[in-house]
Structure 1
Amino acid sequence: MLFMSSWAADDNRTLLHFSKSTLETFRQHVQASDSDCEAGGLLLGSVHGTHMLIEQATAPTAWDRRFRYLFERMPFGHEAIAMSRWGASQGTVRYLGEWHTHPEDYPHPSGLDRSEWNRLSEKRRDRRAMLAVIVGRKALYIELVPSSGCGSVFIPVE
């Protein structure tokens, strides 16, 4: 599968770019077989006006709860990485959002995904919308989620 690195919001106001290492983390956790459990983590990167560079996706930890149709990220591990990157970058690399996998070719958010994204978006200290990525077997679903309602959906840019 080929995941594109550059994406644009449906209104073309926001662009985002995934680093090679971020896309590789996604590839390593695709639910290719019927026994693979969901995976997920944080999206860390930098903000440039309305645009974002996603530099890292944290990988699942031993503390996370992983099932075929559910991923529950525990704070241990992920938050330590985020705080370390924040400090080392003098505050330029920050939490941008969350990613997880779905066992479907072309993923779409569930009701649980939507309620969780809205909850996480409301908790953001910087009041920015949260970037949400679902990694499917053949494609990514990407949305910038405000604290209430649906946000901008992204499409790949050639």
Structure 2
Amino acid sequence: MQFLGSWATGGKGTLLHFSAGTLQTFNQHIQGTDADCEAGGLLLGSVHGGHLLIEQATVPTAWDKRFRYLFERMPFGHEAIALSRWTASQGTVRYLGEWHTHPEDHPHPSGLDRSEWTRLSAQRRDKRPMLAVIVGRQSLYVELVPSTGRGSVLIPVE
């Protein structure tokens, strides 16, 4: 599957770009067979005004809980990578959000996804909306989730 790298909110007030490496991580974890478990991780990148550059998606660790219809990210591993990138970039590469897969062609967030995203967004020190991505078999679901709940769904741009 070839996902598009550039996304925008409806009025193009926010532009977002996934690096080639991030898209490669998404592609490597698509749940293509009935035996594949959900995967996920952190989205790390930089903020440019209202725009986002997603430079890296962390991959599942041995501590994460992976099932067919559930992914639970454990802090071990992911947070160490995020802190390392933050330090090495002198604070320009930061935590921007979370990604995980669904065994659906065109994924949509579950109630559990929504409650988790709202909780994570409320914990952000910089008070920015959290980027939430669900990787499906044929498309991505991309949303900027504020601490108040539902946010802006982004659409791919050519």
Q: TM-score range by the shorter chain?
A: over 0.9
SS for the counterpart of 1:117 is helix
Alignment of 1:41-60 (within 5 A): 41-60=41-60
Q: Structure 2, unaligned stretches of length 5 or more?
A: none
Counterpart of 1:10 in structure 2: which amino acid? Answer: G
Alignment of 1:6-155 (within 5 A): 6-155=6-155
Counterpart of 1:116 in structure 2: which amino acid? Answer: E
Question: What is the CA–CA distance in structure 1 between the aligned matches of 2:74 and 2:9, rounded to whole Å?
Answer: 29
Say what the alpha-carbon RMSD is for the aligned residues. Answer: 0.5
SS for the counterpart of 2:137 is coil
Counterpart of 1:141 in structure 2: which amino acid? Answer: Y
Question: What is the CA–CA distance in structure 1 between the aligned matches of 2:3 and 2:61, rounded to whole Å?
Answer: 23
Counterpart of 2:22 in structure 1: which amino acid? Answer: T
Counterpart of 2:127 in structure 1: which amino acid? Answer: R
Question: What is the CA–CA distance in structure 2 between the aligned matches of 1:11 and 1:157, rounded to whole Å?
Answer: 12
Task: Return the offset for 1:76.
Answer: 0.1
> Residue deviations 1:27-54, cap 9 Å, x none?
0000000000000000000000000000
SS for the counterpart of 2:128 is coil
Counterpart of 2:153 in structure 1: which amino acid? Answer: V
Counterpart of 1:86 in structure 2: which amino acid? Answer: W
Q: Structure 1, unaligned stretches of length 5 or more?
A: none
SS for the counterpart of 2:44 is strand
Q: Percent identity?
A: 78
**Please, what TM-score do these two structures have when normalized by structure 2?**
0.99
**Please, what TM-score do these two structures have when normalized by structure 1?**
0.99
Task: Return the offset for 1:97.
Answer: 0.1
Runs of 4+ in 1 over 4 A off after TM superposition: none
> Residue deviations 1:86-117, cap 9 Å, x none?
00000000000000000000000000000000
SS for the counterpart of 1:31 is coil
**In the alignment, is the contact (CA less than 8 A) between 1:11 and 1:152 conserved in 2?**
no
**In the alignment, is the contact (CA less than 8 A) between 1:29 and 1:101 conserved in 2?**
yes
Question: What is the CA–CA distance in structure 2 between the aligned matches of 1:94 and 1:52, rounded to whole Å?
Answer: 11
SS for the counterpart of 1:98 is strand
SS for the counterpart of 1:7 is strand
